[in-house]
A and B are shown apart, each in its own frame.
Chain A
Amino acid sequence: MFAFLANPDRFMAFSRRAAPGFGILAAVLIAAGLWFTFTAPEDYQQGDTVRIMFIHVPAAYLAMFSYVCLGVASFLSLIYRHAIADAAAKACAPLGAGFTALALITGSLWGKPMWGTWWVWDARLTSVLVLFLFWLGYIALRAAIDDETRAGRAAAILALVGLVNLPVVHFSVEWWNSLHQGVTVFAAKAENRLPPAYLIPMALMSLGYMALFGSLWLVRIRAEVWRRRAQVLALQAAGG
């Protein structure tokens, strides 16, 4: 799959159809998710604020999933020097930063009425903030180095270092005493799992956010491929 898509022409042909396909899928899933979000009953403890969970948790999933995508693209870019992998890593960063910011903001808006505070230096919250800083660092590092090849390599190394933070984010609620709730969607014990009334909107919104990320990622990689082609054409025009 990676080898097939490493060819820019094949990637452009594939993404021309896949990007709108994922976009339509995202619109359908998010519309259905929003319907179930506002038909779900109030939670006995959280009241109506449980509805924030249906946009907060998917954003948090995407914050981590997009960083895994950045890590894989950075690894392929460093080892195999695939131009598409480097473009994919670069294109992923603003989306990942956006989803991570959304997870932090919506989490804070839920925390104030439920915990009585906008923010605590809790292990889960702090590790997600560190994840956000890795995204910002990645974007800043790429922008700070003029030579694009060097910028790509330096940023790829930073991205791979940042992968260490992902298990910390995921297991923080188990490793430390945390104000943040533990695992519920994939909880081992049945009594700790979400009931279907909450699981359905959570799953639909999560899949919808995932499809939206897939669509926008492809669109941004296409934009990056065109930008590089435009640069080559400009250089050829200047040289000729």
Chain B
Amino acid sequence: MPDFDTGKYAAYIWPSFAVSALFLAAMIADSLARARRWKREVEARTKDRP
């Protein structure tokens, strides 16, 4: 079973995992938001065309 007791080094280990999770989550959110935004823009402009 996983052992989450990181002992005296917890102050270094958990921030490492927290920063990594934060960066990866930010990269995922930004990439998806960007794609969604421009896809909608193209769809809206295509719909408006005569």
Q: Which residues of B contact A233 (CB under 8 A)?
A: 42, 45-46, 49
Q: Which residues of B contact A106 (CB under 8 A)?
A: 16, 19-20
Interface residue total, chain A, C-beta cutoff 8 A: 37
Q: Which among B2, B15, B23, B28 is the interface contact of A109 at CB below 8 angstroms?
A: B15
Known contacts: A38-B4, A226-B35. The answer to whether A216 contacts B28 by CB under 8 A is yes
For B2, give the chain A residue with the smallest CB separation: A38
A18 and B6 CA atoms in complex are apart in Å by 37
- A51 in contact (CB, < 8 A): yes
- A10 in contact (CB, < 8 A): no
Among A197-240, those with CB < 8 Å from B are 212, 216, 219-220, 222-224, 226-227, 229-230, 233-234, 236-237
A140 and B15 CA atoms in complex are apart in Å by 29
Query: In the bound complex, do residue B38 and residue A223 qualify as a contact, i.e. CB atoms below 8 Å apart?
Result: yes
Label chain A's interface by main secondary structure.
helix
Query: In the bound complex, do residue B31 and residue A216 qualify as a contact, i.e. CB atoms below 8 Å apart?
Result: yes
For B28, give the chain A residue with the smallest CB separation: A216
Q: Which residues of A contact B49 (CB under 8 A)?
A: 233, 236-237
Known contacts: A39-B2, A212-B24, A227-B38. The answer to whether A220 contacts B31 by CB under 8 A is yes
Which stretch (A52-60, A157-165, A171-179, A187-195) binds chain B? Answer: A52-60
Q: Which residues of B contact A220 (CB under 8 A)?
A: 31, 34-35
Which stretch (A70-78, A95-103, A123-131, A141-149) binds chain B? Answer: A95-103
Q: Which residues of A contact B2 (CB under 8 A)?
A: 35, 38-39
Query: In the bound complex, do residue B13 and residue A51 qualify as a contact, i.e. CB atoms below 8 Å apart?
Result: yes
- A105 in contact (CB, < 8 A): yes
Q: Which residues of B contact A226 (CB under 8 A)?
A: 35, 38-39, 41-42
Query: In the bound complex, do residue A105 and residue B9 qualify as a contact, i.e. CB atoms below 8 Å apart?
Result: no
